[in-house]
Amino acid sequence: MIKAVVFDYMGVLSSEFGPTVYPYIQEVTGHSIEEIKAVFSKYWKDLKIGKISDEVFWQGMAKDLEVSAEDVGKVRAMTRKCSEPVQEMIDLVKEFSETYDLYILSNSAYDWTEFMYDQSPLKQYMKKTFFSHLLGLAKPDPAIYQLVIKEIGCKPEEILFTDDKLINVEAAIHVGMQGIHFTGAASFREAFKKLQ
């Protein structure tokens, strides 16, 4: 029996910023989407585990992609806007909070996860958040799921984890949690019913 539901943030509770932000950077710099993603990944690996700050991340992105400070400001604003929770998921979370303990486990950065979460209506429904940049661990490292299981205090099989990245769901299942690969609110609801 499921007692707790753990949601990813970006791509589950909010939309992904890539489809909006990457084309904008491409337009401003002339770099390909692949080049932009490569630079993003270069700094993201340290940002998501708190080894570098958001400021250092954006400075590195600006330097490597030759983006002006003004344009970096615009990109940061876009990432925050895209990180706002979607209404359909706010409604789902509100509904689920009546029956289950709810949590967030997110590979995160202050700018587009913690900052936006702190201002969102989601906060009132979540029992606890697990943000990778504060924990020094990131999905799909098994250690982060073990930490979540310990903190929640349920058996692993009583915890459901959902993420838009299949590798992260598979890692949760590997440590004994139940998992749903998130592709949308409606399909999540259907998959959840089958687990009941």
CB-CB neighbours of 31 under 10 Å: 19
Q: What is the pLDDT of residue 77?
A: 85
The class of domain 18-82 in CATH terms is: mainly alpha
How many Å separate Cα 53 from the centre of its chain? 17
Mind listing the pLDDT tens digit for each residue in 22-67?
Answer: 898 898 889 999 999 999 999 999 999 999 999 999 999 999 998 8
What mean pLDDT, rounded, does the chain reach? 94
The pLDDT, as a whole number, for residue 155 is: 98
Predicted confidence (pLDDT) per residue in 105-134, tens digit: 999 998 888 888 888 899 999 999 999 999
pTM check: above 0.75: yes
DSSP 3-state assignment of 29? Answer: helix
Q: Please indicate whether residue 149 or residue 196 has the higher confidence score (pLDDT).
A: 149
Mean of pLDDT values over 3-30: 90
Domain-wise residue ranges, the chain: 4-15+85-195, 18-82
User: Strand order of the sheet with strand 4-7?
Assistant: 128-131, 101-106, 4-7, 159-163, 178-181
* pLDDT at site 80: 83
Q: Which CATH architecture has domain 4-15+85-195?
A: 3-Layer(aba) Sandwich (3.40)
